[in-house]
Amino acid sequence: MDQKERVLVNEEVVAKSKQWPNFIRAKLGFRNHWYPVLFSDEVKEGEPVKTTLCGENLLVNRVDGKVFAIKDRCLHRGVELSKKLECYTKDTITCWYHAWTYQWKDGLLCDIMTDPGSKMIGKHSLKTYQVQEAKGLLFIFLGDIEPTPLIDDVPPGFLDEGRAIRGMRREVASNWRVAAENGFDSTHVFIHKDSKLIKGNETVLPLGFAPPVDGEEGALWEVVNNESGPKGVYDNIGQHAVPVMEGKIHGETVLRPVIGGNKRIAQQISIWMPGVLKVDPFPDPTLIQFEWYVPKDENTHWYIQTLGREVANAAEEEQFDKEFHGKWKDLGLHGFNDDDIWAREAMEKFYKDDWGWIKEQLFESDGNIVAWRKLASEVNRGIQTLDNL
Amino acid sequence: MDQKERVLVNEEVVAKSKQWPNFIRAKLGFRNHWYPVLFSDEVKEGEPVKTTLCGENLLVNRVDGKVFAIKDRCLHRGVELSKKLECYTKDTITCWYHAWTYQWKDGLLCDIMTDPGSKMIGKHSLKTYQVQEAKGLLFIFLGDIEPTPLIDDVPPGFLDEGRAIRGMRREVASNWRVAAENGFDSTHVFIHKDSKLIKGNETVLPLGFAPPVDGEEGALWEVVNNESGPKGVYDNIGQHAVPVMEGKIHGETVLRPVIGGNKRIAQQISIWMPGVLKVDPFPDPTLIQFEWYVPKDENTHWYIQTLGREVANAAEEEQFDKEFHGKWKDLGLHGFNDDDIWAREAMEKFYKDDWGWIKEQLFESDGNIVAWRKLASEVNRGIQTLDNL
Amino acid sequence: MDQKERVLVNEEVVAKSKQWPNFIRAKLGFRNHWYPVLFSDEVKEGEPVKTTLCGENLLVNRVDGKVFAIKDRCLHRGVELSKKLECYTKDTITCWYHAWTYQWKDGLLCDIMTDPGSKMIGKHSLKTYQVQEAKGLLFIFLGDIEPTPLIDDVPPGFLDEGRAIRGMRREVASNWRVAAENGFDSTHVFIHKDSKLIKGNETVLPLGFAPPVDGEEGALWEVVNNESGPKGVYDNIGQHAVPVMEGKIHGETVLRPVIGGNKRIAQQISIWMPGVLKVDPFPDPTLIQFEWYVPKDENTHWYIQTLGREVANAAEEEQFDKEFHGKWKDLGLHGFNDDDIWAREAMEKFYKDDWGWIKEQLFESDGNIVAWRKLASEVNRGIQTLDNL
């Protein structure tokens, strides 16, 4: 019974944030960045797939091998085209309601079958967005400007030749920012202390990290903000801080990490615009984990988990593929990251009404998160707002 | 955790609408009009029935054959009388909580059984609304004024002597306006192209209509706005526009209508205040469909579907009754209109926050809908608001 | 998609209430009062229990026999500690996310296992609340001031030596004020006319009460508002009004109460801050019912029902315990009060948006309720607001 001005973010909260106002505003993510939304093999020739990115409902289709994304809302009466898919030619989609027909490639209203002489024809277009395929992922540029190079929106090394990528996608019930911070958070290792990955693998994770004494804190993270190329933050806590191997309360040791072996993992962790993590190596010395926290809407994100390995030839890639499906998907992407998922969902409540960004009390180890928020607040190419929906 | 000023309609949107501001405001429908809410046989002597009209909860009862409608909310502490029906005399209803007792005929608080000497007795009344039975339907006048003649709020011909009416009622999850426009929409025939009615009947529907060239557009609809009598709009597209029998994209024919036979139906379509459609003839040359889109609340409407046939005597009415239940209910009211129901529900989302009325892009064939909106915005006898609830 | 200023109570409604503005504001109950939230036996040594009081999420634990209550929200990133309980020493709880560790007794952040050298340690504290055990109940003081004596927040006699108490707890879907008024309401006896307690017990309840003629109304209730000690209202309608034994409509008797016997019950009914009822005797001449309507959140309350009996020794208490579990729990606390529960839930809708407090129409028998509202509006020690959450 309530119909008022729509508001996405509480501006009273934004006003209290001196350091990262636009990060708080970015509840629906960023415009003019490349986000992976689906895997390539999820979109087959002539079989449109419905998805949502940054709150916008999209239809994605493959036509003669090339993938296109259009807004899933007819210009005429606003219905979702996906409610009943009607494609009478391979390069068009027709609205089920009044037969307004749009071209996949540019969204042009090329015909209206119910009124073939309408003057609207050829004069209006559905919003379309650029799609780019790389490493088996479909990236969409929710853009108002000319698409920027994809390489500027992925972590260094992801697009390298010879790096094979495999992965999986799921929907998680938290805002994307809560998810990104969970991933980049140095001391969240504590939640993984009983992880199947650690127990079932020849590795170990400390309980936490003791940062160095005063004066050296700056070394704990490093911001990358070059004019071109990806922008991000390196977390150096692994190199500069002392791993905590004994959990103490009142001076007594109450907890020690599980030690599965001495393989060194997660040596270098970095986060990149528009919200993608690189953990190198992970979950094994031969692998790098790249994972995206893609805004679906204000309350949920697509968690796109990928592992990359350098391969010299097709046989090695085939071997990696087998290993991914036979071992790492279960042991790493589930066995380790399932804990991250419930942690994000548990954190969502506090930040949902925006006040969490003010009420929280960060500590020394959160310095890299602070650096990330400032960077994201400053270098994004645009913030998704309700007006775009 | 949110308690603010209640608002039904976004006045920022209303302000942007020069042509039909009050139509946008009428989210809960109109006051001082007759709406059918139930069929006569749904309300039996002494068995009160709970319903909702324009957001107001009502109790409808039959006392000595006459039907009364009272507000389903005790004056005292606001509980619904229907939560536990207690009627100790045939002409009264007693609240289950503190035994405040009201007369069906006028809502008068005639007794309080828990405190027989209260000074409130005889001085307060529940809101009551006039009820009129016609053609097997119960019409309610949600009024603040003297009831107007019923004949002014039904389509021409509906009350004619010799016209037998049969029908059914269901609840649909869209606002009533979205439903009314779906019904009156000339080019929505496109959604019925695979309809059971067309395939299973000796008839045909075109894919759409090509309106005539410039200068003749006025002929496509005709507004009826006499001082007394029903007010409405005739859609003349069937007569003046060219039926589209070939669906073309890029000049190629991709679709043709199913042709079941050559019976001519839906020759004349008209919509009438406060929101009732007449399709003449339909779904057969011997029948007229009259259907109401009655506001239940802001998100749902009662879809009251009726068919009328001229009958000369009781035997012919009996024959019609058999045909209605044996054939037309399934073939027409379900076989054809079930598609309209999901179309309305699919359209609801876009208009729910009012912005759809601004963001939509109407085309030439929507001229009759525009005429209807303007009429409804101007000639209604009052708009239902939250203050009335 | 809606993120605006959070508002608990509509101040437009509060402004219209001259007599009890703070009662309307107290949607989440009062601060600085003792509320029972759990029974003693629900909190076992070292087994923290999650609960909610006045909208605040709490964790309650017993350490070396003493019970403590802490806020169930980590200072760091706001997650609920209860999401995954980790207690490594008996006097602390550790957050599952980053191992921030708090002392039960005072909430002090005594250690952070992931970063043992953090400067936050020892400088911050979780909010804690005082807990007191009495008569098998755990009372919590949601306080900002030094706790006041418990005896000031319970009905007279409840804490008496020699009075054994037994009871049960349930969650009910109405605001606590709607519940308190249902309990203290003189004429709500009408809903109990078919109660199992009356039929199955040797007692009777009238259908209502006829208050005395003008000039004596003041005698119907008595406000207790001494400087110290409990503050409350006695309902004297039982003594001063004439019990209604015939329900009449239009002068005809249509209803009489069920008469199970002549045991006199409910002779004296009183309500006390912060929202607890005493019915003496009830449901039997040997028993007193004390029941609390404890705000859980704005839409629900904990209904804490207890019966008290004077006992001379352990054997008599044992006998009472058997009788409570074998008879009164079913016959009284369920058989009688289950009707109150659905009545409260039925009343909730009208008051949910605050307007019910203005739109209601009280009658003569509601005088005691009016006295209670005024008292509660004036003598509370603080109102719970969203800022406290």
C contact chains, 3+ CB pairs < 8 A: A, B
CA–CA distance, A113 with A341 (Å, rounded to integer): 47
CA–CA distance, A107 with A95 (Å, rounded to integer): 12
CA–CA distance, C356 with C364 (Å, rounded to integer): 18
pLDDT exceeds 70 at position C5: no
Q: Which residues pair with A5 in a beta bridge?
A: none
Q: Which residues pair with B198 in a beta bridge?
A: none
* Residue among A6, A79, A114 minimizing CB distance to B365: A114
* Residue among C4, C187, C347 minimizing CB distance to B115: C187
N-terminal to C-terminal alpha carbon distance within chain A: 22
Residue of chain C nearest A343, judged by CA positions: C97
Query: How far does Cα A318 stand from its chain's mean position?
Result: 26
| Mean pLDDT score, B103-120 | 97
Residues of chain C neighbouring B2 (CB-CB closer than 8 A): 4, 6-7
CA A239, A240, A242: angle at the middle one, nearest 5? 95
CB of A56 closer than 8 Å to CB of A389: yes
Query: For B246-297, what is each residue's pLDDT tens digit?
Result: 999 999 999 999 888 888 888 899 999 999 999 999 999 999 999 999 999 9
Task: Name the DSSP letter for residue B386.
Answer: G
| Mean pLDDT score, A46-60 | 98
CA distance B53 to chain A (A): 15
Task: Classify residue B384 as left (phi > 0), alpha (psi -120 to 50) or beta.
Answer: beta
Disruptive mutation site among C7, C190, C388 for chain B (greatest number of B CBs within 10 Å)? C190
Residue B49: pLDDT band with limits 50, 70, 90: very high
Residue of chain C nearest A12, judged by CA positions: C5
Residues of chain C neighbouring B118 (CB-CB closer than 8 A): 363-365
- Domains of chain B, by residue range, sit at 34-132, 148-388
C214: tokens are 């003008």
CA–CA distance, B124 with B115 (Å, rounded to integer): 15
Domain A35-132 in CATH 3.40.630.30: no
Q: At what angle do helices A367-379 and A176-184 cross, to 10 degrees?
A: 140
CA–CA distance, C214 with B119 (Å, rounded to integer): 11
CA–CA distance, A200 with B145 (Å, rounded to integer): 79
Question: Which H or E run includes B50?
Answer: strand B49-53
Under DSSP, is residue A182 helix (H, G, I), strand (E, B) or coil?
A: helix
For chains A and C, what is the number of CB pairs under 8 angstroms?
Answer: 125
CA–CA distance, B347 with B175 (Å, rounded to integer): 9
CA–CA distance, C324 with A217 (Å, rounded to integer): 65
CB of A351 closer than 8 Å to CB of A26: no
Residue that is written with structure tokens 């309080």 in the block: B112
CB of B140 closer than 8 Å to CB of B35: yes
pLDDT exceeds 70 at position C49: yes
Q: Which range is least confidently modeled, A186-195, B72-81, B214-223?
A: B214-223
Alpha-helical segments (H) within C147-266: 176-184, 196-200, 237-240
CA distance B231 to chain A (A): 26
Task: Name the DSSP letter for residue A198.
Answer: H
CATH of C34-132, one of 3.30.70.20, 2.40.30.30, 3.40.50.720, 2.20.25.10: 2.20.25.10
Neighbours of C132 (CB within 10 A): 15
CB of B356 closer than 8 Å to CB of A9: no
B72: tokens are 């389903």
Task: Check residue B2 and give its pLDDT.
Answer: 43
Q: In 3D, which of A225, A222, A227, A228 has the Cα closest to residue A150?
A: A228
Q: Do C112 and A363 touch (CB under 8 A)?
A: yes
Query: How far does Cα B133 stand from its chain's mean position?
Result: 16
Task: Dump the DSSP string for A328-382.
Answer: IIIIIIITTTHHHHHHHHHHHHHHTTSTHHHH----GGGHHHHHHHHHHHHH-S-
Residue that is written with structure tokens 């689906």 in the block: A38
Q: Which range is least confidently modeled, A208-212, C58-62, C122-126?
A: A208-212
CA–CA distance, A273 with A180 (Å, rounded to integer): 10
Q: At what angle do helices B367-379 and B176-184 cross, to 10 degrees?
A: 140
CA–CA distance, A265 with A205 (Å, rounded to integer): 8
Q: Do B363 and A99 touch (CB under 8 A)?
A: no
CB of A240 closer than 8 Å to CB of A220: yes
* Residue among B249, B360, B363 minimizing CB distance to A78: B360
pLDDT exceeds 60 at position C191: yes
Q: Where are the beta strands (DSSP E) in chain C?
A: 34-39, 49-53, 56-63, 66-71, 92-94, 100-103, 109-112, 128-134, 137-141, 163-172, 208-210, 221-224, 232-235, 242-244, 247-249, 252-255, 268-272, 276-280, 288-295, 301-310
A119: tokens are 């003057």
Question: Which H or E run includes B292?
Answer: strand B288-295
CA distance C3 to chain A (A): 5
Query: For A358-368, what is each residue's pLDDT tens digit?
Result: 999 999 999 99
CA–CA distance, A324 with A334 (Å, rounded to integer): 12
Q: Which residues pair with B270 in a beta bridge?
A: B234, B278
pLDDT exceeds 80 at position A263: yes
At the second CATH level, the architecture of C153-388 is: Alpha-Beta Complex (3.90)
pLDDT exceeds 90 at position C213: no
* Residue among B4, B76, B114 minimizing CB distance to C7: B4
* Residue among C2, C79, C96 minimizing CB distance to A350: C79
pLDDT exceeds 60 at position B62: yes
Query: How far does Cα A162 stand from its chain's mean position?
Result: 23
CA distance B140 to chain C (A): 24
Question: Which H or E run includes B69?
Answer: strand B66-71
Who wins on pLDDT, B372 or B240?
A: B372
Residues of chain A neighbouring C76 (CB-CB closer than 8 A): 360-363
| Mean pLDDT score, C59-66 | 98
Q: Which range is least confidently modeled, B103-112, B116-125, B221-230, C149-158?
A: B221-230
Is ipTM over 0.85? Answer: yes
B377: tokens are 């915005």
pTM: 0.94
Residue of chain C nearest B77, judged by CA positions: C360
Residue type, B282: F
Disruptive mutation site among B115, B121, B354 for chain C (greatest number of C CBs within 10 Å)? B115
Task: Check residue A218 and give its pLDDT.
Answer: 63
CA–CA distance, A366 with A64 (Å, rounded to integer): 48
Neighbours of A44 (CB within 10 A): 11
Quick check: bond before C281 cis, omega within 30?
Answer: yes
CB of C343 closer than 8 Å to CB of C200: no
Domain B148-388 in CATH 3.90.380.10: yes
CA distance C317 to chain B (A): 37
A146-388: CATH topology is Naphthalene 1,2-dioxygenase Alpha Subunit; Chain A, domain 1 (3.90.380)
On the question of a common fold for C34-132 and C153-388, the answer reads no
Task: Check residue B282 and give its pLDDT.
Answer: 95
A contact chains, 3+ CB pairs < 8 A: B, C
| Mean pLDDT score, A371-376 | 98
Query: For A127-183, what is each residue's pLDDT tens digit?
Result: 999 999 999 999 999 999 999 999 999 999 999 999 999 999 999 999 999 999 999
Q: Which residues contact A46 (CB under 8 A, 6 or more apart)?
A: A61, A62, A63, A87, A90
Task: Name the DSSP letter for residue C212.
Answer: P
Q: Which range is least confidently modeled, B76-85, B191-200, C107-116?
A: B191-200
Task: Check residue C3 and give its pLDDT.
Answer: 46
CA–CA distance, C57 with C142 (Å, rounded to integer): 11
Q: Do C244 and B79 touch (CB under 8 A)?
A: no
Q: Do B350 and A73 touch (CB under 8 A)?
A: yes
Q: Do A208 and C110 touch (CB under 8 A)?
A: no
Q: In 3D, which of B24, B1, B28 has the Cα closest to residue B11?
A: B24
Helix then strand count (H, E) for chain B reads 9, 20
Quick check: bond before A281 cis, omega within 30?
Answer: yes
Q: Do A119 and B207 touch (CB under 8 A)?
A: no
Task: Check residue C1 and give its pLDDT.
Answer: 37
Alpha carbons within 13 A on the beta-carbon side of A119: 7
Query: For C312-329, what is each residue's pLDDT tens digit?
Result: 999 999 999 999 999 999
Query: For B157-188, what is each residue's pLDDT tens digit?
Result: 999 999 999 999 999 999 999 999 999 999 99
pLDDT exceeds 60 at position C2: no
Alpha-helical segments (H) within B219-337: 237-240, 314-323
| Mean pLDDT score, C187-214 | 87
CA distance A40 to chain B (A): 29
CA–CA distance, A257 with C343 (Å, rounded to integer): 55
CA distance A115 to chain C (A): 36
Calculate the alpha carbon distances from C37 to B221, B346, C325 in Å: 68, 46, 21
Dihedral pair phi/psi, residue A252, rounded to 5°: -95, 140
Residue A3: pLDDT band with limits 50, 70, 90: very low
Residues of chain B neighbouring A113 (CB-CB closer than 8 A): 190, 207-208, 244, 247-249, 255
Residues of chain B neighbouring C346 (CB-CB closer than 8 A): 79-80, 83, 97
Who wins on pLDDT, C253 or A213?
A: C253
Who wins on pLDDT, B4 or A372?
A: A372
CA–CA distance, A332 with A282 (Å, rounded to integer): 9
Residues of chain A neighbouring B361 (CB-CB closer than 8 A): 75-76, 120, 124
Query: How far does Cα A99 stand from its chain's mean position?
Result: 36
Residue of chain A nearest B256, judged by CA positions: A113
CA–CA distance, C352 with C344 (Å, rounded to integer): 12
Neighbours of C79 (CB within 10 A): 23
